[in-house]
Structure 1
Amino acid sequence: MKDFKFVDLFCGIGGFHLALSQLGGECVFASDIDPDCRMVYFDNFGIEPYGDITEVDEKTIPEHDLLCGGFPCQSFSKAGNRKGIHDSRGTLFFDILRIVKHHNPKYILLENVRNLAGHDGGNTWKIIHYNLKHLGYNVSPEPIIYSPHYLGVPQHRERVFIACVRKDIGDLPFLPVKPEKYKVSNALSVISQDLTNSRKYKISKSEESIIELWNEFIQNIKGDLPGFPIWADYFDIDIPKEEFMLYPKWKQSFIIKNKQLFNANSKFLSRWLI
């Protein structure tokens, strides 16, 4: 599909916009509640996003072929309270639905955190899937999980994508799953140093050293990149059991995983410890 129109909800600084415009799309409406994001979005694309989507009348949004949005994730995130669809931020999904119901776009592409896939025992996903299907869309039967490192970009950041095609348009195309093998590129290779305002944005020598250290990590680590935060402070220390049991379960789990990571890779990780 070329020369299509799209709306960019919860647009942030424009990740969806950048990709879709490179595919021939034209953004006809954008929205984000964060004023700083709106400012950066305007600097990037010359479009001033609207603010709070709950205050936008769906009838004022221009017609479009594709609706996309990374709706707020705090209510589904492992770092949030995980109330999901019952949180006011989770219910912003229903603002997407009212816009979809009025405009009936050909395609919908939504994004959220990895935890959405299993939140509330899968019930949150079922609610989202049911409502989109009820509005006349073929919806991906399972959450589509991708991470930049699947495509060679040196970042481990799994996200759930929800792809929808209006039923009169046809079925969903085949969507490839996680590749069996992938090669992660050098982090510096994906950072542009050719910038107009290079003095403001250019990577410093100390930042370059940090990136090189990360490159060493991803090239030497055994197995997949960790899906948990890397806490070097816990690599090689013994925590008294009484103190350990006072930590919340999620922190206990991360500490154990970091110790296992260190033990499996101590030959080169030990050089990181001072």
Structure 2
Amino acid sequence: MFSRVALRSAAARQSTALVARGSASAASGSRDEVNFPRPVRGEPGKVRLGFLPEEWFQFFHSKTGVTGPYTFGVGLATYLCSKEIYVMEHEYYTGLSLLVMVVFAAKKLGPNIAAWLDKEVDTIEKDWNQSRTDTIKGLEDAVEAEKTAQWRAQGQELLIQAKKENVLLQLEAAYRERLMQTYSEVKRRLDYQLEKSNLERRLAQRQMVDWIVTNVTKAITPDQEKATLDRCIADLSALAARK
């Protein structure tokens, strides 16, 4: 019973510390791992005589020395027995025999049972820690996956930008091609108009020359033609005589 009281007091102190740590974490907004580390599994305190907490002996040691707790225990038992507060009836001897058997069982089987229980506790704690570790690992993997997704999204942005530039280049090429087509069509039509104008002018000149020649030829009489021919012969004779 004494050991249970000691364990309850230790659990109460631990819960108080956890509450204080929780309030400090809530005030700061993030957990302070240095000043407020994560709680670990508590171990039972030391005992003497198999069930008496060590703190009781330390309490007596500061006031009565080493033999104080034992003297107090023996004196208390003597007082209870002498004043018949605790009556030694037949159940007392039964309890004494049971105590001897319990002590014997604790000495013989206690270490093995304690080792088995410690192993079970370690296994349970390991499972809990493994679950926590797996959760943290899963969250870290999720963070890495999110970073990879962001990196891929940035790559998609670059790809979309490149596609936009390609579309702009295609539009520019189509614009230049259509501009060249327009220039070719306009030049062809202008060349056609120029050629048409030149042709009309040549036809008009030819028609005019033909008309003039025809009219001049019609206007020359045979006498004039003969006189002109004679004059040309005379001029040629004069030029020949000079040479």
Please, what TM-score do these two structures have when normalized by structure 2? 0.20
Q: 1 or 2 for the larger relative contact order (CA 8 Å, sep ≥6)?
A: 1
More strand by share: 1
Higher-helix-fraction structure: 2
